[in-house]
């Protein structure tokens, strides 16, 4: 392999999250996966409203051992990124002018005011403690990015450009004008790079993969030679240029490496993971191989989790693409992050009780968001479960250890809470630590229950790889039952077997491997949601009332009576009579009152409606 000045590094961009505790969880996830660098996007909105928060996010990234770069995301509409520019709205007179004389919403690179603003932005990100300022795709504006639906248009012909050009800029794109446009980009970079360097900062400049056209630079040497530049970067996103990944990336990786070597700077290359489907993964892997074969080892991807959180950039295959690019960049198999040790907690046992309480509270606070992220997958699984149970099927949980205990608890609560008949919701649990590896135990336990195609097997495992849980899913699949994998790692072994995957990724635990903490909390939330929403969908509640509660003690009898009073609107004396006639069954009493029928007819209606109070009451 060709030797270069680039160091071996795997990095990714990260954007959109401005709550430090959530960002810390994701930084821990990156470190566990084997990433060594992260690029944070510092937009104009962040500059105005999130100045100190961005410093906290940088500090959290450093705590995970990550090298941190800062990108001027969408700044002035002269850099890469989807963020909008506030500056151009406040300074329309400093904006670029198209060849046809129209002014557009992008700052002019030759505007002294805009250059000063970029320096102010750089001062801020340096104060936040970043390791490098990453000048991302500096270029004259792309017309379509500012609403101009004509790719032949170009800029800039404003007064600032005329002053530097030595007179009005011609309306024709002559060789002289094109040379001026390129020189303006280089001069802009020279000024901002020097500014960062004089303040002790480090600069990276990312050039578009083009040496001609309206936005390419014919000479990369002009940028690589800039005083204060540390790293030369390019991002050959082959799909944007309608090219094949391997040859396209190889060509620009070679140009990048050769240019960097000539000027004694490092080389860094970015590949996309956004906008890719599963069918693009071989191309993505070929791109990474090509870059390495050309001697570039400092490799990054845009962006975290294949940008699955951004509708415009995501694809349904984003989780699969993210696992693939992470494995290819880091050289590390992507496994469950719940088991990983966290280096910033090496002094955990030396901390005070109050510090530990605060730490656990902060960690727990990230769990609901992780569960909310899989809301669509969870809802789809529940709809399928409710449909099976409506046909007489059963909800069968399976798990070991903490997961099994949580499954057993949820199953045990369904009868008393919702009036679920015996055997409708049950749990098959591995007893003892060693039993979680006993696949045969799960298979035999499920065989005892004589699985049917109407049943649902929900396997619960933090890692998604517990043999007991996997065997339960396999047995369910063999019987034609619905199968659901509940885990805290995406694309797990369990997910590959199951019909539905519900993976709430909560990141590494405070105590490595103790999945009774965040992972346990996430699983409890998910199981609560599965059983509760399923029962609601089956009509086992009425409105927001627990009318199916089994009145086994005075407190529950009083609760059942109160719910029937609220739901029916009937006088208390009438409710008491209905409950007596229904032998204390609140659902029978409620249907009797709502439909105006006796207890026997109400009970028959309930049976015909599959236990749904609303359906039974509305039956004519």
Dihedrals phi, psi of 10, to nearest 5 degrees: -125, 120
Q: What local confidence, expressed as pLDDT, does residue 610 receive?
A: 82
Nearest one of 539, 596, 547 to 567, comparing CA atoms: 547
C-alpha–C-alpha distance, residues 233 and 256, integer Å? 7
pLDDT score at 222: 97
For the chain, percent of residues with pLDDT exceeding 70? 96
Least confident of 22-36, 157-171, 468-482: 22-36
Residue 534 confidence (pLDDT): 96
Rg for the chain, CA atoms, rounded: 31
pLDDT band at 156 (very low <50, low <70, confident <90, very high): very high
Give the pLDDT band (50/70/90) at residue 336.
Answer: very low
With contact defined as beta carbons under 8 Å apart, do 97 and 103 qualify? yes
The segment(s) of the chain belonging to CATH 1.10.8.1080 are: 554-618
Q: Which residues are catalytic?
A: 413, 436
Q: How many CB atoms lie within 10 A of CB 52?
A: 10
pTM summary value:
0.63
* β-pair type (229-234, 266-272): parallel
* pLDDT, average across residues 135-141: 95
Cα 439 off chain centre by: 32
Asked if residues 408 and 397 have their Cβ atoms less than 8 Å apart, the reply is yes
d(CA 286, CA 347): 42
The answer to whether 619 and 603 have CB atoms below 8 angstroms apart is no
pLDDT of residue 230 exceeding 70:
yes
**Tell me: the pLDDT tens digits for 14-42?**
998 999 988 988 898 898 788 999 999 99
pLDDT of the residue at 611: 82
Question: Over 70: is that where the pLDDT of 341 sits?
Answer: no
CB 370 within 8 A of CB 431: no
Q: For residues 31-44, b (16+ Cβ closer than 10 Å) or e, as one string?
A: bbbebbbbbbbbbb
Question: What 3-state DSSP class applies to 591?
Answer: helix
Q: In CATH terms, is domain 9-333 a member of 3.20.20.80?
A: yes
Mention the CATH class of domain 367-537.
alpha beta
Flag whether pLDDT at 273 surpasses 90: yes
- DSSP 8-state code for residue 39: E
Residue-level pLDDT at 1: 31
| The pLDDT of residue 2 | 36
Question: CATH 3.20.20.80 spans which residues of the chain?
Answer: 9-333
Contact between 284 and 271 (Cβ < 8 Å): yes
Say what the pLDDT of residue 3 is: 39
Contact 546, 563 (CB under 8 A): yes
The Cβ of residue 405 has, within 10 Å, a number of other Cβ atoms equal to 18
Tell how strand 456-460 and strand 103-107 pair up. unpaired
Cα-based distances in Å from 72 to 190, 342, 397 = 16, 30, 49
**pLDDT (tens digit per residue) in 522-548:** 999 999 999 999 999 998 888 888 787
- Summarised one tens digit per residue, pLDDT across range 174-214 is 999 999 999 999 999 999 999 999 999 999 999 999 998 88
Question: What does the alpha-carbon distance between residue 596 and residue 598 come to, in Å, rounded to a whole number?
Answer: 7
How many helices (H) and strands (E) would you count in the chain?
A: 24, 15
Q: Of the ranges 134-143, 190-199, 230-239, 412-421, which one carries the lowest mean pLDDT score?
A: 412-421
Dig out the tokens for 58 from the structure.
């940088």
Token output for 152: 């032949």
Assigned architecture for domain 554-618 = Orthogonal Bundle (1.10)
Determine contact, residues 489/336, Cβ cutoff 8 Å: yes
Which residue carries 């979680």 as its tokens? 436
Ordered alpha helix ranges (H), 391-433: 401-418
Q: Which helix (H) or strand (E) holds 368?
A: helix 367-373
Which residue, chain included where needed, has tokens 């470190």?
A: 31
Q: How many CB atoms lie within 10 A of CB 106?
A: 24
Which pLDDT tens digit goes with each residue over 292-334? Answer: 999 999 999 999 999 998 999 999 999 889 989 999 999 876 5
Nearest alpha-carbon partner for 135 in 125, 145, 148: 125
Write down the pLDDT at residue 436. Answer: 65
Does the pLDDT at position 583 exceed 60? yes
Query: What are the structure tokens assigned to 554, written together?
Result: 């005075």
């Amino acid at each position: 392999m060709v030797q270069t000045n680039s160091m071996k590094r795997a990095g990714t961009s990260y954007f959109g999250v401005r709550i430090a505790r959530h960002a810390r969880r994701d930084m821990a996830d990156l470190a566990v996966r084997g990433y060594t660098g992260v690029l944070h996007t510092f937009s104009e909105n962040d500059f105005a409203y999130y100045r100190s928060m961005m410093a906290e996010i940088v500090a959290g990234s450093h705590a995970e051992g990550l090298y941190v770069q800062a990108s001027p995301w969408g700044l002035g509409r002269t850099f890469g990124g989807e963020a909008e520019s506030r500056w151009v709205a406040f300074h329309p007179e400093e904006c670029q002018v198209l060849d046809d004389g129209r002014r557009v919403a992008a700052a002019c690179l030759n505007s002294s005011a805009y250059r000063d603003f970029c320096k102010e932005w750089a001062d801020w990100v340096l104060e936040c403690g970043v390791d490098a300022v990453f000048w991302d795709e500096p270029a004259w504006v792309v017309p379509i990015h500012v609403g101009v639906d004509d790719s032949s248009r170009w800029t800039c012909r404003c007064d600032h450009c005329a002053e530097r050009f030595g007179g009005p800029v011609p309306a024709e794109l002559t060789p002289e004008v094109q040379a001026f446009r390129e020189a303006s980009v280089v001069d802009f970079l020279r000024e901002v790079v020097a500014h960062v360097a004089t303040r002790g900062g480090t600069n990276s400049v990312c050039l578009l993969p083009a040496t001609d056209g309206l936005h390419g630079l014919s000479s990369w040497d002009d940028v690589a030679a800039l005083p204060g530049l540390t790293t030369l970067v390019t991002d050959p996103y082959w799909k944007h240029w309608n090219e094949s990944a391997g040859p396209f990336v190889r060509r620009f990786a070679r140009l990048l490496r050769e240019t960097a070597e000539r000027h004694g700077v490092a080389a860094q290359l970015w590949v996309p993971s956004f906008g890719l489907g599963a069918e693009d993964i071989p191309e993505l892997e070929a791109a990474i191989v090509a870059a390495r074969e050309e001697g570039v080892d400092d490799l990054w991807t845009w962006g975290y989790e294949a940008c699955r959180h951004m509708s415009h950039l995501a694809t349904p295959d984003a989780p699969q693409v993210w696992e693939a690019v992470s494995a290819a960049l880091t050289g590390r198999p992507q496994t469950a992050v719940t088991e990983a040790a966290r280096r910033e907690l090496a002094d955990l046992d030396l901390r005070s009780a109050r510090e530990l309480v605060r730490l656990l509270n902060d960690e727990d606070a990230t769990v609901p968001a992780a569960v909310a992220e899989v809301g669509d997958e969870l809802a789809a699984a529940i709809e399928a479960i409710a449909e099976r149970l409506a046909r007489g099927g059963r909800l069968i949980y399976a798990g070991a250890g903490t997961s099994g205990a949580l499954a057993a608890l949820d199953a045990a609560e369904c009868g008393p809470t919702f009036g679920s008949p015996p055997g409708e919701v049950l749990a098959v649990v591995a007893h003892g630590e060693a039993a979680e590896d006993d696949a045969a135990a799960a298979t035999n336990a499920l065989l005892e229950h004589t699985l049917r195609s109407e049943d649902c097997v929900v396997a619960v495992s933090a890692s998604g790889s517990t043999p007991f849980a996997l065997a339960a899913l396999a047995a369910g699949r063999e019987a034609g039952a619905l199968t659901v994998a509940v885990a805290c790692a995406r694309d797990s072994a369990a997910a590959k077997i199951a019909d539905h995957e519900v993976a709430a990724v909560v990141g590494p635990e405070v105590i490595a491997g103790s999945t009774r903490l965040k992972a346990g909390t996430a699983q409890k939330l998910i199981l609560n949601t599965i059983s509760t929403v399923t029962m609601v969908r089956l009509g086992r509640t009425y409105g927001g009332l627990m009318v199916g509660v089994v009145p086994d003690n005075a407190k529950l009898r009083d609760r059942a009576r109160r719910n029937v009073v609220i739901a029916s609107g009937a006088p208390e004396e009438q409710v008491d009579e209905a409950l007596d006639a229904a032998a204390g069954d609140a659902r029978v009493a409620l249907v009797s009152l709502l439909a105006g029928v006796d207890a026997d007819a109400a009970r028959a209606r309930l049976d015909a409606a599959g236990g749904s109070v609303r359906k039974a009451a509305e039956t004519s």
